[in-house]
Amino acid sequence: MSLLPLKFYGQPVLRKPAQAINKITPEIKELAAAMLETMNNAHGVGLAAPQVGHPLQLIVMNVGDEDHVLINPKIVRKTGKMTYNEGCLSLPGIFLETQRYGHVVVKARNLKGENVVLEGTDLLGICLQHEIDHLNGVLFVDRVEDRKEVEKSLKKLSSELQKNMWPEIPEPVRETAEAL
Ligand code: CO
């Protein structure tokens, strides 16, 4: 078991653009495996490397089908619109209706260095958009239209984090949706 400590809202690495990965080293493979473990342990369905303190373009996901590890993922096509009640392991306890594209096509590399294309609607599509946002320093709350609700939620979370009420992800964080 190698669980990684999660970075929470307010930590600068979550706002930093992640660097592209040029070489898939044993360290990158280890990081991906540890991220999958950390995500599953926290009952998340997606996790991006900045959320565990690494500003690298690496995401892992499992939306109930299989484990996905994507390196340098890019959205190459986006169509339609949908809203989803999103959460995030880095913003525990916050779930808000978030505006997203309905369908996305993503190009990336897998751990073998092969080019892969992933197409997603519903939760997979949401997850892809949410995790790729993390690589650009964007958090789901940035995309929520109800700014008053965001402000209120973030204020509450910030004070809880300051009091260190969330030393670990509570079990489970997902009351109304999966955390990404
Ligand atoms: Co997230």
Q: Which DSSP string corresponds to the chain?
A: --PPPPP-TT-GGGGSPPBPP-S--HHHHHHHHHHHHHHHHTTBSEEEGGGGT--BSEEEE-SSS--EEEEEEEEEEEE--EEEEEB-TTSTT--EEEEE-SEEEEEEE-TTS-EEEEEEEHHHHHHHHHHHHHHTT--GGGG-S-HHHHHHHHHHHHHHHHTT--SS--S---SSS-B-
CA of 130 to the centre of ligand 1 (A): 6
Whether residue 97 lies in the annotated active site: no
**pTM (two decimals):** 0.91
Mean pLDDT of 82-95: 94
109-163 residue pLDDT tens: 999 999 999 999 999 999 999 999 999 999 999 999 999 999 999 999 998 888 8
pLDDT bin (cut points 50, 70, 90) of residue 166 is low
2-41 residue pLDDT tens: 889 999 999 999 999 999 999 999 999 999 999 999 999 8
CA of 86 to the centre of ligand 1 (A): 9
- Of 86, 114, 131, 178, which residue is the catalytic one? 131
What pLDDT, on the 0 to 100 scale, is given for residue 169?
52
49-88 residue pLDDT tens: 999 999 999 999 999 889 999 999 999 999 999 999 999 9
CA of 45 to the centre of ligand 1 (A): 9
CA of 134 to the centre of ligand 1 (A): 7
